[in-house]
Amino acid sequence: MFRVYLVDDDPIILEDVSAKPVWQECGFEIIGKSTSSREALGEIQALRPDLVMCDLKMPGLDGIDLMTQLKNSGVDCEFLMLSAHASFRDSRDFFKQDGFDYLLKPVDEMELQIALERLARLLFKKNPESSEEPLATDNAEVIDSIMAYIRRNYSKKLSLNHLGQTFHFNPNYICNLFAKQYGQTYTTILTNIRMTEAARLIQGTGKPLKEIAAACGYANYFYFCRVFKEFFGCAPSEYTG
């Protein structure tokens, strides 16, 4: 799993963000968090996470300063910034430092999931060796069974915890299996299956888009449209195959 460190001077926001189940779903493990950016600086340098998610505006050392100091010290990680009101100048400075993306507060879980799926794809490309270890025969059989289950039930709410309970494995173990077998996170694989089916239904049936969204496991139609556009580069209504 990819390792992430969270920084926000508001302890309520820090706890809310860290408690979101989407972290595990997308293959990320929170290894540390802090309300002090100055304390976080040393901990991040020691822990070397794959991702730092931090508040833009913090006392003492703001998010961009923290990112700059970490990069200057040789920490090679991605940065996801949080902001209640990001100005153009803040955004420009963030991306000038090669920041990955920023999210507005309060953090919407669906927006976070989209960002984490994009991050996971980037991190797999940066570290291809993370998925090069071959699976043992028994593990390959497990992953085949899980994939068959997902293909039968993609229209339902399929969490990593649900898969763990169904197959009697720790969710982190399943997450690592997907990484080794496919070089992708669980949510990315589930999204691939759902989007492939959505495209098939759009091209091959006259069903309304909201009905197609529900059939592919998306109760929220607008979220379905966001994911579809992220996946195919166009809105569902514009898709031609």
Can you give the pLDDT at residue 180?
Answer: 85
Strands 101-104 and 78-83: parallel
Q: How much is the pTM? A: 0.81
Identify the structural domains of the chain with CATH numbers, from first to last.
Answer: 2-126 (3.40.50.2300), 133-241 (1.10.10.60)
Per DSSP, the chain holds a count of helices (H) and strands (E) of 12, 5
Can you give the pLDDT at residue 42?
Answer: 97
The span from the CA of 60 to the CA of 207, in Å, is 55
Can you give the pLDDT at residue 94?
Answer: 62
Q: What is the pLDDT of residues 157-207, one digit of tens each?
A: 999 999 999 999 999 889 888 888 888 899 999 999 999 999 999 998 989
Q: What is the pLDDT of residues 22-36, one digit of tens each?
A: 999 899 999 999 999
Can you give the pLDDT at residue 124?
Answer: 87
The span from the CA of 170 to the CA of 31, in Å, is 18
Residues (pLDDT < 50) of the chain are: 88
Can you give the pLDDT at residue 97?
Answer: 58
The span from the CA of 127 to the CA of 183, in Å, is 10
Can you give the pLDDT at residue 128?
Answer: 65
